[in-house]
Amino acid sequence: MKTEIKTNQKQAILITGASTGIGYATALYLDKKGYKVFASVRKEADKLKLIHAASSNLTTVMMDVCDEEAVNKAYQQIITETEGFTFSLVNNAGVSLNGPLEILPFADIKMLMNVNVCGLLSVTKTFLPLIRNTKGRIVNISSGHGLLAIPDKSVYAASKFAVQAISDSLRVELKPFGVNVSNIVVGKINTNVLDKILDDRKKMINQAKPETAKLYSTQMEYFDREVKSLPGIEAVEVAKVIADSISNAKPKAQYLVGPGAKKMKMLARFPQAMRDNMLYKAIYK
């Protein structure tokens, strides 16, 4: 039986990509903290899972961030239910894509950019009037790959560098209106995403020309080993940082969450030639 929670803060928050992982953990964590949570999902099954796990104060929103009509519909729904609330946005929806550029299907590249960059921009632009008028906050979920681009991650890194750029720009652009913007840089999370990454890798290799895939086999095998050996953290640990970025009177511009993110931040400080040489030797030793 679910525990009913009285809202103890006049804070409303929309979390995109709340069906699994960070988004799901954050929706439940903030719901327990008494925030009025709007959790966006794309599937009915994910909606029902959230409803079962959360309090009656949480509202699920059927929204694909790439569907402009769905985003506008969600805005009209939420604006009528948040009168008197400070409204904040957590841009969490995103997908991952790994592999050498030469063997990545271009349809997958376009899909990733559409979700990770265009979707984030669409949702943010649509909800900005509500955020601005209530002096809410924007929290963008990024990755260590938004600090340092490495082989096998060219497309994903491009999208996360874009998220960092958007955060940096909006932080000053919206400062006159009292809107804070934070970028959460996340390392490896202990979810089933790793299994999906490895499954997608196999499909990508099977679809590529064998002679081309073979050219990059050493590189791909190295990064598959690396991602398996990296220490991970639980998604709820990210949720706690997101909560701090929303509630703190002086939120940070950037939060590093997990050892993976901190490692990427450190490596990004190395001189480029040294860093490139280190990566090359690590892969092809």
32-71: burial string, b at 16+ Cβ within 10 Å, e else:
bbebbbbbbbbeeebbebbeeebbeebbbbbbbbbeeebb
Give the start-end residues of each E strand in the chain. Answer: 11-15, 36-41, 59-62, 86-91, 137-143, 180-186, 254-257
Is 235 exposed, middle or buried (CB count within 10 Å of its CB: 0-12, 13-18, 19+)? buried
Distance CA 27, CA 18 (A): 7
Name 59's bridge partners.
38
- Give the active site residues: 156
Q: Which of 96, 109, 100 is nearest to 216 (CA)?
A: 100
Beta-sheet strand order (sheet of 180-186): 59-62, 36-41, 11-15, 86-91, 137-143, 180-186, 254-257
Q: Which residues contact 224 (CB under 8 A, 6 or more apart)?
A: 198, 201
Q: How many residues does the chain have?
A: 285
Count CB atoms within 10 A of the CB of residue 29.
19
Chain centroid to CA 197: 16
The tokens for 283 are: 């892969």
**What CA–CA distance (Å, rounded) separates 72 from 131?**
15
